[in-house]
Chain A
Amino acid sequence: MLREPVPSAVSFDGATLSWHHAGACLEVSLHRAPLNEIGTESLRELEILARYLRGGAGGARAMIVSSSRPGFCAGADLRELYAGLVSRGRSRLGRWLPPGVARRLLRARIGGFIDRIHRVFDTLDRAPLPTIAAVHGVCFGGGFELALTMDRIVADRTARFCFPELRLGLVPGFGGIPRLERDVGNAVVRELLLTGRSLGARRAHEVGLASELVGRGEALAAARRAAEQLIRFEPRTVAAAKAFAKPVPAERLRRERALFCELVTRPGVLRALEAFVEDTSVRPYLPRAVGGA
């Protein structure tokens, strides 16, 4: 088995994210325009971050993930997902494949992407150092799922959390449902999942999703102050306490992945994605009805 290269640089400046050390804290900033949509390039750089974490993260004793864009993250790159779906009927040789074969190939391809995302998110979730998401603005879909891998969410008043996937005929596929189940009551999970509504920062704080609620533009500063406290504790004790208090819901994650991969190749999903991608209105994030899958 090939050993994966471990990034040695204590700073990284990629196309979609960057990181640097501020004292004992590793600060990761998402910076892909427009709103940190997670596509293959984002995934590749998240994988580099995951390798850095597995390699010890340069001795960091806390990590903060934030965004320099107008929101935290709008979720998966739906345009990229749609492009992958519309090309599903073609083989690499350019020949059209029978629908059953094409669907199996597509399911395998998307399953591969989801597996890679899950490996990264599991690494973030299990990282032995304390982790904080500093969230402002939109924290939707895959972005919300990313925030849920962190130990704590510090939300500024502009933050909004949402699982819009049902609008597309899908469920979250990056581990969001099991991780949300871990953090809040099931009624809140169902409210978010089944209505596709967004929760404002205040309500997110009230239900225990966000551990801190701060003023507009204050999330990163508040996360840094929290990190200053967290790094004072003995690292092995922190790691042990975290592993005990934050078990990774492996079986539920596996089942969510299977459900997502089953749903994503349904024709209704393609129609909903097409409507989103080709929508020329200025309101793609507002609620709408979509055709059944």
Chain B
Amino acid sequence: MTSGEDLIHRLTELATARFGPAAASLAAGDDLFDKLGIDSMQALDLLTDLEEAFGVEIPDYELQGVTTLAGLAEVIGRRR
């Protein structure tokens, strides 16, 4: 598994823990908001989860326009 695939795998695990089994079947390019129906508060919770899990700090503006696991993986990859 490449580091990118590993990141996506861990992100899927985190999303599943927070949003339930529907997140387990997400593809890397799926829109999280559309597929999971998450709202802005849940998005902030996910941001906190990401910061905790990966030991990084992610300013909100880095997430501007990021709606997919692949996009999140890219943001996290830049900050590790």
Binding site for B on A (CB under 8 A): 35, 70-71, 137-138, 157-158, 160, 162, 195-198, 200-203, 282-288
Contact = CB atoms under 8 A, between A and B. Distances in A.
Given A157-B52, A158-B48, A282-B33, A198 B41 contact: no
B61 A160 contact: no
B41 A285 contact: yes
Contacts of B61: 195-197, 287
Given A201-B48, A286-B43, 16 more contacts: A35-B41, A137-B41, A137-B44, A138-B41, A160-B44, A162-B60, A195-B61, A196-B60, A200-B51, A202-B51, A203-B57, A282-B33, A282-B37, A282-B39, A287-B60, A287-B63
Which residue, B40, B43, B60, has most C-beta atoms of chain A within 10 A?
Answer: B60
A288 B40 CA distance: 12
B64 interface: yes
Nearest to A201: B48
A17 B8 CA distance: 42
A70 B41 CA distance: 9
B78 to A, nearest CB: 16
Contacts of A71: 41
B40 A282 contact: yes
Contact of B48 (A160, A282, A283): A160
Contacts of B45: 137, 158
Contacts of B33: 282-283
A202 B40 CA distance: 20
B43 A200 contact: no
B15 to A, nearest CB: 16
B38 A200 contact: no
A157 B43 contact: no
Which residue, A195, A287, A288, has most C-beta atoms of chain B within 10 A?
Answer: A287
Nearest to A74: B41
Given A157-B48, A158-B48, A197 B60 contact: yes
7 contacts: A70-B41, A137-B41, A160-B47, A198-B60, A200-B57, A203-B57, A282-B40
B29 interface: no
